[in-house]
């Protein structure tokens, strides 16, 4: 396929009047349109204003999509125990499939081509099948919760690990290696030591399997772990093996100096979720410090109930603005750095090589943006536009592994209208009363 | 005209299956569709998913629109003296007209129907004519700068006041009272005491004329005023008459207890510009404290060079998220409060009565939103959707004073394509070298 763009941009290069040729799942050629286009006149040809690498959602909860807007303006523990956990516990396999599809649909529409996706305890198969079928690239994991968890989610330790292993065997490397597995303890609070150590063993037993969990999102979590183990959370995770080049930790808002050293020394990846951290009032993660230490930082939207969208452009803007005001330094986290976080850094966290830039031989995950809008006028600076003014609505083209999922603004991968309609029916009809009563019995008392 | 909506929403009411009838510039009836629609079958009828009051941009620089993206990631003084002031000094009357039109176009497209608009020193007439012609509601003011300002912007004090008075006489109350005047000193740093006191005299001499300026945006500004006057900035403004129920102060990021008391006691309006404060790294304004003191707080996008859009939905989301993380309290500034800031509070700051809600007899400034998108699925909570997930791109209908400016997603008020094209030509062709050399001579040395 021949793609031409007024601009082809990636974290390293801005190429005016560019062209990309894809062949199967890979990028075959990149260069000036005038040189390349005449050689590929037999190829299908589409043209967009800006062509960029597909964005990577480094921490996503696609299956929470049915809860968009159900739990705004609530304290974190109310948010979790009155709404989110009851919702996850209540969903049937069929409903979980729709929830996942809604999430993948929103990401593909708005330019995210790869997600590191935190599923739920049950019905993970449905999400794997949905991701595989729709065509997004993903590192998905069934959530494990074997302590301090409500009925409907609480599992036996061995059962959690066995189910994870079954899913690894079934889905890791599936769909032409577009879908991979991350062992996914929810967070240290809801997992026993055996479960956490078991996660490391599973990841070591299967080549390329990653570990994905939440860490240091808020201070009560850290206090709980300190009470349980006598250690700060990152030290505890390090102790049980959940740090390293194959580990993605979401949030890392509250870390002390010694924890940051562990993250840097072990090559652990951090996913920054600025909108979620703001909306849940978790705090402001010291991203500039992580970047300066050489820690690989990706970006993520987290889930619709705490965001409320899966638009990665919104997250890029938010990440830059939040660091600037936090440091009182307008020069920090400029667009090029942020764009790199949303592409190359995300790909690195996800563990896919040759992903996150527009280069010959690399994976053909490509997004096309329209700049036919007032927000893009005048267009002085492409990277500034992408980070500060563009929006998921501008995305008109989405390709993953060389397969077109959206073109000229229309989804080709899935019947978007049908998914939205089904999601509305289920979402607006959710009755969480029973699950809420059960979950509330597990709710910690805040001190 | 008959407008029907799946939901009609304003800061006080959520009405399902609602209808609004407008007659001339006013809302004649509001109620259930089933009751009202059958009585107005002879009226032109349009239907949208959500109908809401037009949003109010409480601090806007429409004429900076050509500088969108020219000065990102720069220190405030570099931003101002290397880019923004040179740009303002360089624009011809014809170019200023295009700049203003681009700003009004972006606002009308994205749901802002009223702006409190900080123009530039010269060529204010062009902006007034553009706003009047295009149909936005506005409180506009020519900027006054009579000290510490670069050539091309620096004015004689009396000249600045005389030109302001001429514009008041020409435009205040014009276009059926849709366009009004605000006397607009740039900020205390660039205005002499005579200029500031003259602003108060002008506002007192003409009924309904307001005063609009920047205040306490950053700490070097406050230090400069302290050196000049021995006072904190708000005390100085109070001393020269620039506080009160007819005064709108943009930013107020850094205020001490005694200044907040002055703002509350005098009934001075504050416009919060969260994205601008973040991008320029000014700081986080204590909005929750202002609201608790009963200070009227509006929202504003500021200008495209420091935002980079004029989308009020982005600003609502940003305002809520920023206060939540700043206070570490997820319950603060919920959507209803934020929506009120962007509508009723903005209208109060702008000085238009019967504006900012959908009520019988009130001004017919109405916006129609589409919820036919994945971001709006499922739609659990209308206010949450409007503040956290909606976007200016969702706006399909814009009415001001009963006149339709956009319908079914198409601008009817202005040839949008022509404005964008002209703006691109001028914007991308700006040569600021000469003005920059001049401006840099006035640049304060930071200590």
Using an 8 Å CB-CB cutoff, list chain B residues near A389. 68-69, 308-309
Mark whether B34 and B174 lie in a shared domain: no
**Same domain (yes/no): B334, B234:** yes
Based on the fold, state whether residues A280 and A170 are members of the same structural domain.
yes
Q: Say whether both A218 and A270 belong to one domain.
A: yes
Give me the residue label for tokens 């708000």: B234
Does one domain contain both B319 and B245?
yes
Which of B14, B66, B67, B69 best probes binding to A when mutated, by most A CB atoms within 10 angstroms?
A: B69
Q: Do A374 and B335 touch (CB under 8 A)?
A: no
Q: Which of B91, B335, B380, B396 to mutate to test the interface with A (most CBs of A within 10 A)?
A: B380
Q: Are strands A269-272 and A297-299 parallel, antiparallel or unpaired?
A: parallel
CB–CB of A321 and B318 under 8 A?
yes
Q: What is the CB neighbour count within 10 angstroms for residue B174?
A: 15
| Same domain membership, residue A69 and residue A44 | no
Measured between alpha carbons, how far apart are the two ends of chain B, in Å? 59
Question: Could you tell me which chain B residue has the CA closest to the CA of A389?
Answer: B308
Contact between A69 and B427 using a beta-carbon 8 Å cutoff: no
* Pairwise CB contact (< 8 Å): B381 & A105: no
Q: Which of B308, B324, B375 sits opposite A384 (nearest CB)?
A: B308
DSSP H or E run through B3: strand B2-9
Assess if residue B117 is contained within a domain. yes
- Look up the CATH number of the domain holding residue B74: 3.20.20.140
Write out chain B's pLDDT in tens, 447 residues.
999 999 999 988 999 999 999 999 999 999 999 999 999 999 999 999 999 999 999 999 999 999 999 999 998 888 999 999 999 999 999 999 999 999 999 999 999 999 999 999 999 999 999 999 999 999 999 999 999 999 889 999 999 999 999 999 999 999 999 999 999 999 999 999 999 999 999 999 999 999 999 999 999 899 999 999 999 999 999 999 999 999 999 999 999 999 999 999 999 999 999 999 999 999 999 999 999 999 999 999 999 999 999 999 999 999 999 999 999 999 999 999 999 999 999 999 999 999 999 999 999 999 999 999 999 999 999 999 999 999 999 999 999 999 999 999 999 999 999 999 999 999 999 999 989 988 888 877 655
For all residues of chain A together, what is the average pLDDT?
Answer: 96
- Give a yes or no: residue B415 inside a domain: no
Question: Closest chain A residue to B108 measured between Cα atoms?
Answer: A374
Best mutation target among A70, A374, A382, A392 (most B Cβ atoms within 10 Å) is A374
Cβ neighbours of B384 in A, within 8 Å? 69, 72, 308
Q: Is residue A446 in a domain? A: no
Q: What percent of chain A has pLDDT over 90?
A: 94
Which of B300, B318, B349 is the endpoint of a domain?
B349
Name the H helices within B172-271: 174-177, 193-205, 219-229, 233-239, 257-266
What pLDDT, on a 0 to 100 scale, did the predictor assign at position B11? 87
* Residue A114 located in a structural domain: yes
Residue of B nearest to A284 (CA): B325
Best of B49, B318, B378, B427 to disrupt the A interface (most A CBs within 10 Å) is B378
Establish if B201 belongs to a structural domain. yes
Q: Are residues B7 and B154 in the same domain?
A: no
- A252 shares its domain with A324: yes
Please say which residue of B323, B349, B375 terminates a domain: B349
State which residues form the domain around B85.
55-349
Number of inter-chain CB pairs under 8 A, A vs B? 186
Are the Cβ atoms of A384 and B327 closer than 8 angstroms? no
CA distance A86 to chain B (A): 16
A416 in a structural domain? no
Q: Report phi then psi at A11, rounded to 5.
A: -60, -15
Angle (deg, nearest 10), helices A312-327 and B312-327 = 50
On whether both A257 and A321 belong to a single domain, the answer is yes
Q: Is 90 exceeded by the pLDDT of residue A11?
A: no
Q: Are B32 and B75 contacting, i.e. CB atoms less than 8 angstroms apart?
A: no
In a domain, A214, yes or no: yes
Respond yes or no on whether ipTM tops 0.85. yes
Contact B324/A380, CB-based, under 8 Å? no
What CATH number did the domain enclosing A372 receive?
Answer: 2.30.40.10
Q: Hey, which bits of B203-324 come out as E strands?
A: 210-215, 247-251, 269-272, 297-299
In angstroms, what separates the C-alpha of B386 from chain A's closest C-alpha? 10
DSSP A53-91: EPEEEEEE-GGGGGGTTSSTT--HHHIIIIIIHHHHHH-
Per-residue pLDDT band at A446 (split at 50, 70, 90): low
Q: Confidence band (pLDDT; 50, 70, 90) for A60? A: very high
Cross-chain Cβ contact A72/B282 below 8 Å: no
Both B119 and B203 in one domain: the answer is yes
Q: How many structural domains are present in chain B?
A: 2
Provide the 3-class DSSP secondary structure of residue B8.
strand
Residue A436 lies in a domain: no
| Degrees to nearest 5, angle at CA A181 with A129 and A159 | 90
- CA-based nearest residue in chain A for residue B430: A380
pLDDT value for B445: 63
């Amino acid at each position: 396929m021949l793609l031409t763009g007024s601009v082809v941009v990636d974290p390293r290069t801005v190429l005016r009047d560019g062209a990309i040729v894809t062949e199967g799942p890979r990028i075959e050629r990149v260069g000036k349109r005038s040189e390349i286009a005449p050689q590929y006149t037999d190829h299908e040809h589409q043209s967009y204003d800006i062509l960029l690498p597909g964005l990577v959602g480094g921490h996503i909860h696609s299956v929470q999509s049915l809860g968009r807007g159900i739990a705004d303006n609530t304290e974190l523990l109310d948010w979790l125990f009155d709404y989110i956990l009851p919702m996850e516990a209540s969903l049937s396999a069929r409903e979980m499939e729709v929830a996942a599809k809604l999430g993948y649909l929103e990401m593909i529409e708005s330019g995210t081509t790869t997600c590191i996706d935190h599923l739920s305890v049950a019905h993970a198969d449905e999400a794997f099948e949905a991701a595989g079928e729709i065509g997004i690239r993903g590192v998905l994991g069934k959530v494990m919760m074997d302590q301090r968890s409500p009925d409907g989610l609480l599992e036996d330790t061995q059962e959690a690990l066995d189910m994870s292993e079954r899913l690894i065997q079934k889905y890791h490397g599936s769909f032409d290696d577009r879908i991979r597995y991350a062992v996914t303890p929810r967070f240290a609070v809801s997992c026993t030591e055996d479960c956490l150590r078991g996660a490391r063993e599973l990841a070591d037993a299967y080549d390329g399997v990653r570990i994905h969990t939440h860490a240091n999102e808020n201070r009560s979590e850290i206090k709980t772990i300190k009470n349980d183990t006598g250690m700060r959370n990152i030290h505890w995770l390090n102790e049980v093996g959940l740090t390293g080049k194959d580990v993605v930790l979401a949030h890392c808002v509250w870390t002390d100096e010694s924890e940051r050293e562990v993250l840097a020394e072990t090559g652990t990846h951090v996913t920054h979720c600025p909108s979620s951290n703001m909306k849940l009032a978790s705090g402001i993660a010291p991203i500039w410090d992580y970047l300066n230490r050489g820690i690989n930082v990706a970006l993520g939207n987290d889930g619709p109930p705490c965001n409320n969208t899966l638009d990665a452009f919104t997250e890029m803007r938010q990440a830059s603005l939040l660091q600037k005001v936090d440091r009182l330094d307008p020069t920090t986290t400029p667009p090029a750095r942020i764009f790199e976080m949303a592409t190359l850094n995300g790909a690195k966290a996800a563990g896919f090589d040759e992903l996150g830039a527009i280069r010959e031989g690399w994976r053909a995950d490509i997004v096309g943006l329209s700049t036919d809008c007032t927000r893009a006028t005048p267009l002085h600076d492409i990277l500034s536009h992408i980070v500060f003014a563009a929006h998921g609505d501008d995305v008109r083209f989405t390709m993953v592994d060389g397969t077109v999922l959206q073109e000229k603004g229309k989804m080709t991968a899935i019947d978007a209208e049908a998914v939205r309609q089904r999601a509305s029916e289920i979402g607006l009809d959710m009755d969480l009363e029973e699950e809420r009563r059960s979950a509330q019995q597990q709710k910690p008392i805040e001190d």
